[in-house]
Amino acid sequence: MTAARDSTFTGVFWHNFTSMVGAGVLGLPFAMGNLTWAGGLVTLAASWLVSYGTFIALVLMHEQGAPPGPVTRMDRYQELTRFAFGRRAGNWALLPFQVCARV
Tell me what pLDDT residue 1 has.
43
Nearest to 21 by CA among 57, 52, 42: 52
| Digit-coded pLDDT (tens) for 21-53 | 666 677 778 778 888 888 888 887 887 787 787
> Residue 55 to residues 23, 33, 38: CA-CA distances in angstroms?
15, 28, 26
**The overall pTM is greater than 0.85:** no
Tell me what pLDDT residue 45 has.
84
Tell me what pLDDT residue 24 has.
65
Are the CB atoms for 40 and 48 separated by under 8 Å?
no
Residue 2 has pLDDT above 80, yes or no: no
